[in-house]
Amino acid sequence: MEIKFSFEEREIQKSVRKFVKNDLLPICREVDETGFLPDRVRDRLLSMGLLRVSFPEAWGGVGGTFTGLVIALKQLSYATLVPAWMLFENFMLAYPLLTYGSDALKSAYLGPLLSLERIGAFAFTEADTGSDPIQLKTTAQKVSGGWLINGSKRFITHSSICDHLILFAKTGDSVSAFLVQSDREGYRAGKRESFIHARGFDNGDLYLEDYMAPDTHLIGRVGQGFDILLRTETLGKIAFCALFVGIAERALDLAVTYASTRCHRGKPIGARFQMTQVKLARMLTKTEAMKAYLFHVCALVDQGKDVFMEAAALKLFVAGEIKEITSDAMEIHGAYGLSMEYDIAGLYQKAISAQVVMGSLDIQRVIVAKGALSLLP
């Protein structure tokens, strides 16, 4: 299926595809395992300036489209999630800074975030909730000259390696968003998680102990945190889905290669067994549908449309399909599919995370159903 991209978007696609083939695919297992890119590859990624794509020139971007960024994320995650996740986390801080931050915050923080020289993070989830802002326990108390923040966060990607993060805290009855710096007194990273889908990832607890955020580090207005959260997560969900479309394309390619080379009675299983063909056909159809849906929603974003419901529907769709696509690919590989020697096992593990990260599926169902019933505000 052909999706109509602009000249600039096609150029991004071409250059990232080349980077993936030459630099990432040969080392993708090692990168998945450690969570880090070798310096040479990291430098190359930084030199491509991919996160600049969807940000305005006035703030260090190149004034391209959101579609352009999503193309890059999809291509990168064909090989490994690590570089895509670097871009994604920085986006989750850079976007609310651009949209709600003061000019002073933008000029101080956006440049190094967009160039990936600084590492960003997004801290909403706490031990008791990753879904409900009302239940947040971290508080920001107004004091002379700023805000005293106390509490803890859980499952925060880049909690121990980030330089800056956006952190959501209760300000009385409402929620507000703050720019937090990890090198300031009162910030402490805690226990690190080890997930089945991403062993090398930096993700864990963080603690705020009398952390003093100056007044100038409030992002948006007091009480605007919920709006900032929803708007950032809406684009975040779309960017997040791009990672799984990349994984789907890889799973399909691996399955096709395996089905074309594994022989039974002298004939490749793809040619010999109709049941293998059924799985390949199902995988291809679902992958193409995911891709079309992803770039349809991206096009709406670039047209300035509100995509709150569409982003939830996309996540619902992608999270369901990717599980089946990777499961089919694994089944085609027989016992080799379960072996960590083959890349397909890693893709199957990564697929599971689509249903939890960036909002549970039940919440997406609620949003979509409310949209269908015209009950969204």
Ligand X SMILES: Cc1cc2nc3c(=O)[nH]c(=O)nc-3n(C[C@H](O)[C@H](O)[C@H](O)COP(=O)(O)OP(=O)(O)OC[C@H]3O[C@@H](n4cnc5c(N)ncnc54)[C@H](O)[C@@H]3O)c2cc1C
Binding site for ligand X (CB under 6 A): 121-125, 129-132, 155-157, 195, 203, 353, 356-360, 362-363, 366
Q: Are strands 164-171 and 218-219 parallel, antiparallel or unpaired?
A: unpaired
Residue nearest to ligand X (CB): 130
Q: Which residue has the tokens 């450690």?
A: 34
Q: What is the DSSP letter of 189?
A: E
Tell the smallest beta-carbon distance from residue 14 to ligand X (Å). Answer: 30
**What are phi and psi for residue 13, nearest 5 degrees?**
-55, -45
Beta bridge partners of 140: 149
Whichever of 161 and 363 has its CB closer to ligand X, that residue is: 363
- The distance of closest approach from Cβ of residue 169 to ligand X in the complex, given in angstroms and rounded to an integer, is 12
Complex with ligand X: residue 129 or 150, whichever CB lies closer: 129
CB atoms within 10 A of CB 341: 8
Quick check: 108 and 101 in contact, CB under 8 A?
A: no
- Alpha-carbon torsion angle 47, 53, 55, 57, nearest 10: 70
Q: For residues 354 and 244, is the Cβ–Cβ distance under 8 A?
A: yes
Report the nearest approach of ligand X to the CB of residue 366 (Å): 5
Smaller CB distance to ligand X: residue 256 or 361?
A: 361
Instruction: Please state the closest distance from residue 173 (CB atom) to ligand X, in A.
Output: 19
What are 303's two structure tokens?
Answer: 């047209």
Residue number, 68 or 130, with CB nearest to ligand X = 130
CB 165, min distance to ligand X, A: 9
Burial class (CB in 10 A: 0-12, 13-18, 19+), 299: middle
**Closer residue to ligand X in complex, CB, 90/157:** 157
Q: How far apart are CB 236 and ligand X at their closest, in Å? A: 10
- Taking the least distance from each CB to ligand X, the nearer of 67 and 353 is 353
120 SS3 class = strand
